[in-house]
Amino acid sequence: MSLILAFVPLIIVFGIFMIFISNKKSTIPKKTRLTSKFTTRLVVVYAFFLLASSITAAFISPSENTNEKVDITHLNDDLYSNLSNGIEEEIPANLILNEWTNEIEGDIFTLETQDAYDLPIVIMIEQVESTDKIVEATLYKGIYLVNEIEIPKYLENIEVDWQGDQLIVNIPTQDSVSMSFFRYDFTFTQFSGNASVDDSRGMSSSAQYPILYIKVPKSLTLNVDEERVEMVN
């Protein structure tokens, strides 16, 4: 609505100007154009252009339901909360990107990550009661929402490699993502039940980082940067 109202000052000023100009010209005999071939042809061509565009749009337009809206709050609460409390069984299997199992030869388990303060991953470590030296790692997918629309394949290229007793996490830079949104303004949606002049016109984005959940037996000593990991109770 603010966009339409932005035209108001321009309209007023231009209108006043045109009134004065038009009144001044009143003494000049005004030609009455009964038919303007050029204008008629222009209007006809334009009308055909609009009709053709409308027919094309009817076939190729994506519907609002093409991109399903996701409620991140629900996802955040369930995934992060369950993992923080060690309730891994509650997590749906479709959220698992990858799983690894490795037997540690020595007594120390080392976790190496990139030295970046804004590493987009949550690393959780649960120390389990176990006499063996098998470390299990599970990578859960992250989610990035723009206006409740999920970005596909968000940070699914995280590399988790084992080098002996070291687990190395590497996050390559993902290709930049571009998105385009089209919205009908309130004049079209006012009576369709989902309209609001106060619809937020800004972008809302929210993200849930991928979670790397590592189960380490208590018999192993942890060699991790404690500022980068969350210990699961």
Partner 1 sequence: MSLTEVSLFNNVIKQIRYKIKSYTGIFHALVVLQILGLFLSTIGEGSMSEPGTFFSISVQYFTSGVVVGMTTFWLFINTLLITTKAYREDDFTFVTSRLSRLWANIGFVFLLSVIGAVSAHLAINALKVYLIIQNDELIMSNSLSSVSVITGLLGLIGYFILVSAIAYTIGSIFQRSKVIAILVSISFIILGNIIIRFQGEELIFQGLYFFTKEPNLALFWLKIIFTSSLLFLISWMMSKNQEVQA
Show contacts with partner 1 in window 117-146 (CB under 8 A).
118-120, 144, 146
Please identify, among the stretches 76-84, 91-99, 126-134, 166-174, the one whose residues bind partner 1 according to the rule CB under 8 A.
166-174
Could you say which of 94, 131, 176, 233 contacts partner 1 (CB under 8 A)?
176
Whichever of 57 and 93 has its CB closer to partner 1, that residue is: 57
- Confirm if 145 and 85 have CB atoms less than 8 A apart: no
- Closest approach, Cβ 178 to partner 1, in A, equals 5
Could you say which of 92, 93, 115, 192 contacts partner 1 (CB under 8 A)?
192
Could you say which of 90, 99, 108, 188 contacts partner 1 (CB under 8 A)?
188
Alpha carbons 2 and 192: distance in angstroms, whole number: 20
Three-class SS of residue 75? helix
Say whether residue 70 binds partner 1 (CB under 8 A): no
- Confirm if 140 and 79 have CB atoms less than 8 A apart: yes
Three-class SS of residue 158? coil
- Closest approach, Cβ 13 to partner 1, in A, equals 11
